[in-house]
Structure 1
């Protein structure tokens, strides 16, 4: 694949480094399979901000990433590892959607505000936080004082507003298909996600690595 892509980065060396980082985080069983290299190349190009390679791979650096694939193919672990490759100004936090739903049950609508508008101080200036919402679709519609709310749909619509107004990127992992996303979150959310995310997808036959 390296012969196909013109770049000044050595992607083979980066993959070896990422594999070592994966072993540090997840143990000796962690391995990056050669069959996954096309996916890994795209993620490396994006998170290193390798403009030349992203152009060749049709990846828009202004958008976030939606990493999709079947259960157990390694989406979450890959995004956790990519955090270590990302320049500091593009660092992001990985947050399970299920945890956000449980926070909503406890704290209510303030949680939607928290993940929509969350700001942290950096150098004395408020900076909006980049998130990777992990396992989108595993959370359920939950009730707070009897009111049902599709928490992640509301958060994603607000994140879209941040994307258009402040160019703030959001990342997602999911095992839902495009039609399942529309069914779960509605056409409006699916349309916004298409505008704000690059889709990088494992094959449906990708091996369960658990």
Structure 2
């Protein structure tokens, strides 16, 4: 599907203009993107969804990344060729935002958001084929990285997500295939769970974008 005007998104009877064309480039307007994200969020997650004022800084970085504004991203230390690791406390809205933001750029290849627990349950049932399935060239976002249990297939334990992250790292090196993830864990907790080798690969796979630890639980 082609998008001759990817900065204009139609939802039902409403048209959202996210910016303007200058030559063959789109100049995005952050406030207009927020209006669209708020409206799309309500469509996806219900009328209680809203964009919180205290999340604007995180959202600004994420929007810059998803529209692939390389110059502005560089100012924030974000590499547009890597994926995003979105971290923050439970209930801060990570999963909702990562599901929402791909709608901002309908002209780009979408990623599938998959809970890590589901992947491990699949491994327990199907075995190593599951690791192969997530080591392919599809774009994935692994949701809630680090809360999944250890996999167990025919009596053998396996750190399933650790193995998958190593496969995704190889894909990134060979074919520049991106991987995204969300997590409640900090860097040390991730290293304790997956080991130094995987943690080292994660630094090369991901840009870290983090909510403040004081972020409120929006589920309450």
TM over 0.5: yes
- Point out where structure 1 has 5 or more consecutive residues left out of the alignment: 1-6, 118-127
Instruction: Look up the SS of the partner of 2:61 in the other structure.
Output: helix
Q: Does 2:177 correspond to 1:193?
A: no
Q: Which runs of structure 2 are paired with 1:102-181 in the superposition (5 Å)?
A: 102-117=121-136, 128-181=137-190
Higher relative contact order (CA 8 A, sep 6+): 1
For 2:109 and 2:61, how far apart are their aligned partners in 1?
A: 16
**Shift, 1:196, TM fit:** 1.2
Instruction: Look up the SS of the partner of 1:154 in the other structure.
Output: helix
Hey, what does 1:51 align to over in structure 2? 70
Q: What is the alpha-carbon root mean square deviation over aligned residues?
A: 1.2
Indicate which of 8, 30, 44 corresponds to 1:25.
44
**Shift, 1:207, TM fit:** 0.6
Query: Residues 146, 164 of structure 1: CA spacing in aligned structure 2 closer, same or farther, 3 A cutoff?
Result: same
**Shift, 1:174, TM fit:** 0.2
TM-score by length of 1: 0.90
For 1:200 and 1:11, how far apart are their aligned partners in 2?
A: 18
Q: Does 2:80 correspond to 1:61?
A: yes
Instruction: Look up the SS of the partner of 2:103 in the other structure.
Output: coil
For 2:139 and 2:50, how far apart are their aligned partners in 1?
A: 27
Deviation string, structure 1 residues 19-64 (Cα, Å, up to 9, x no partner): 1000001111101111100000011111111223212222100100
Hey, what does 2:90 align to over in structure 1? 71
